[in-house]
Amino acid sequence: MISPPPIQIPIANRYGGLDAAWVAWFDQLRRAVSGSEDTDAAKAPDALSAVASIAAALAAALQELQTLPPIPPVEDVAAVKQELQTLPRQQLGTLAAVNEDNVRMLRFNLFPSPTPGTEPGTVYWSDDDATLDLQLLGGVSYQFGQQLDFHPKNTSGVQINKGMAVMATGVIGASTKIECARAVADGSVPAQYMLGIATQNIPNNQFGYVAWFGSVRGFNTTGANKTVPEVWADGDILYFDPAYPGELTKVQPVAPNLDLPIAIITNAANNGAIFVRMKTGESMNELHDVNAPSPSSGDVLIYDAVQARWESSGLTAGSNIAITPAAGGITIATTAAITADLTNNTGNLIDSSVGLTDGAAAATATLTNAPAAGNPTKWVPIDDNGTTRYIPAW
């Protein structure tokens, strides 16, 4: 007897053909009926039994097809597609529910529609940012690979507004969390404590996000909201304002205020944006080849070849020389009159042994008018090649 395969109906493979088991069974049936082999009369009942089995299988398949829902007409396909989109979707989680132990990759829709909301934990591709956006707490959006944020706690007693400059003020013990406040940039707080720009309003005693690097959007970037208003434009460089804690300014500060060029305006508008690139700057003592831990007024930098570095030092006073250092200057003065012996070892101011030669006639020189007695009162001796001569002086 030729038994049919143990399945109810032929199952089409990906190419639309019958299942291989059914193909082999039909081939056996063909040979049995045609008598190409084993065609003795004893095989006929088996062939009839096989035909009956086929009929029964086809009848069962037909009955099963009749229980399936009808195929919708073409004009209802769009409605069915929309309905499918509203059905609950499999949550990823550990992917155990979909029998996936390892995820080889995730591909995001480059043009999600409708645009995903701001629910924390939502991840989607942003065409505007050309990267994945992650929705954080408080409506803050984080751009993968384009932003670096802190998440400190405001313990200053007042709210830190979105777009304000922020500094660290301490840490919350055993929590790995930073405490923060509006940045003070007048030089009274070291630049190393400056953090960045608040990306959201941070109420007192609440945590919030502060951008060290990346775009901050959605606040007034015209300069009109400052305590002392300024006019800002696209491309302006912004600094921490030393006069007003937490504010920004386009006017470059001068020492001892902190000179921190930390942002550029990318959209000067009431609902504008800046791009932050935090820079804490350097003081003189932070340079690698300078050692000036406690400079005083009037100190100068002097290079020490033995230590191979510049060092702060005051000038050293000398004999009858006084050094007076002051804020922004040094005074150098003498402490006594400077005296010296202006005569040589013969007691003469000028000692010359150069001979004076007379003219060819060797005439004798005379004074037409001799000086009166006691006038002049001084005579300057001149050594004329061994002969002392005198020049009157008054």
> Which two tokens mark 320?
């009858």
Most confident of 127-136, 221-230, 295-304: 221-230
Three-point CA angle 205, 206, 211, nearest 5° = 125
Q: What pLDDT score was predicted for residue 25?
A: 67
Q: How far is it, in rounded angstroms, from Cα 361 to Cα 309?
A: 75
The more confident residue out of 367 and 289 is 289
pLDDT exceeds 70 at position 182? yes
Q: How far is it, in rounded angstroms, from Cα 248 to Cα 221?
A: 10
* Exposure on the CB side of residue 204, measured as CA atoms within 13 A: 4
Three-point CA angle 381, 382, 388, nearest 5° = 80
Q: What pLDDT score was predicted for residue 365?
A: 47
Q: How many domains does the chain have?
A: 4
What integer is the mean pLDDT of 131-136? 83
Quote helix, strand, coil % in the chain, to nearest 5: 15, 25, 55
The more confident residue out of 349 and 381 is 381
319 with 349, same domain: the answer is no
> Which two tokens mark 208?
């919030």
235 with 353, same domain: the answer is no
Most confident of 174-183, 331-340, 343-352: 174-183
Q: How far is it, in rounded angstroms, from Cα 206 to Cα 153?
A: 5
Q: What pLDDT score was predicted for residue 137?
A: 82
262 with 373, same domain: the answer is no
178 with 261, same domain: the answer is yes
Q: What pLDDT score was predicted for residue 80?
A: 72
pLDDT exceeds 70 at position 269? yes
What average pLDDT is seen over the chain? Answer: 78
CB neighbour list of residue 255: distance below 8 Å, 6 or more residues apart: 187
Q: How far is it, in rounded angstroms, from Cα 345 to Cα 141?
A: 94
Flag the least confident range among 88-102, 105-119, 163-177, 369-383: 88-102
Residue type at 311 in one-letter notation: E
Residue 94 lies in a domain: no
What integer is the mean pLDDT of 172-200? 92
Q: How far is it, in rounded angstroms, from Cα 377 to Cα 189?
A: 77
Cβ atoms within 10 Å of 84's Cβ, excluding its own: 9
187 with 259, same domain: the answer is yes
232 with 352, same domain: the answer is no
158 with 258, same domain: the answer is yes
Q: Which of 18, 39, 68 is the last residue of a domain?
A: 68
Q: What pLDDT score was predicted for residue 119?
A: 84
Q: How far is it, in rounded angstroms, from Cα 247 to Cα 273?
A: 15
- Percent pLDDT > 90 in the chain is 28
Residue 187 lies in a domain: yes
> Which two tokens mark 141?
């959006």
Q: Which of 277, 305, 321 is the last residue of a domain?
A: 277
| Chain centroid to CA 304 | 36
- Percent pLDDT > 70 in the chain is 69
Q: What pLDDT score was predicted for residue 125?
A: 82
Residue 84 lies in a domain: no
Is 211 within 8 Å of 197 (Cβ atoms)? yes
Name the pLDDT band for 362 (thresholds 50, 70, 90): very low
Residue 353 lies in a domain: yes
195 with 270, same domain: the answer is yes
Cβ atoms within 10 Å of 89's Cβ, excluding its own: 8
Q: What pLDDT score was predicted for residue 55?
A: 73
Residue 339 lies in a domain: no
Residue 191 lies in a domain: yes
Omega of the bond leading into 261 within 30 degrees of 0 (cis):
no
Residue 53, helix vs strand vs coil: helix
Name the pLDDT band for 315 (thresholds 50, 70, 90): confident
Please report which residue ranges of the chain form alpha helices under DSSP H.
Answer: 20-34, 44-66, 77-86
The more confident residue out of 382 and 49 is 382
Q: How far is it, in rounded angstroms, from Cα 118 to Cα 146?
A: 19
Q: Which of 36, 68, 100 is the last residue of a domain?
A: 68
266 with 229, same domain: the answer is yes
Q: What pLDDT score was predicted for residue 23?
A: 65
Q: What range defines the domain where residue 312 resides? A: 284-334
Residue 208 lies in a domain: yes
What integer is the mean pLDDT of 280-303? 81
Is 230 within 8 Å of 248 (Cβ atoms)? no
Q: What pLDDT score was predicted for residue 359?
A: 47
Q: What pLDDT score was predicted for residue 322?
A: 86
For every residue of 245-259, DSSP letters joined together read: TT-EESSPP-TTS--
237 with 268, same domain: the answer is yes
3 with 55, same domain: the answer is yes
**Strands 153-154 and 177-182, how do they pair?**
parallel
Q: What pLDDT score was predicted for residue 166?
A: 97
Most confident of 18-27, 42-51, 356-365, 384-393: 384-393
Q: Please give the radius of gyration of the chain, using alpha carbons only, rounded to the nearest integer.
A: 51
Q: What pLDDT score was predicted for residue 360?
A: 47
41 with 155, same domain: the answer is no
Is 90 within 8 Å of 97 (Cβ atoms)? yes
> Which two tokens mark 196?
């960045």
Task: Tell me the pLDDT tens digit for each residue of 37-89.
Answer: 555 555 555 666 766 777 777 777 777 777 777 766 666 677 777 777 677 65
Flag the least confident range among 125-134, 280-289, 328-337: 280-289
What integer is the mean pLDDT of 187-205? 94
Q: What pTM does this model have?
A: 0.53
Name the pLDDT band for 230 (thresholds 50, 70, 90): very high
Q: What pLDDT score was predicted for residue 318?
A: 80
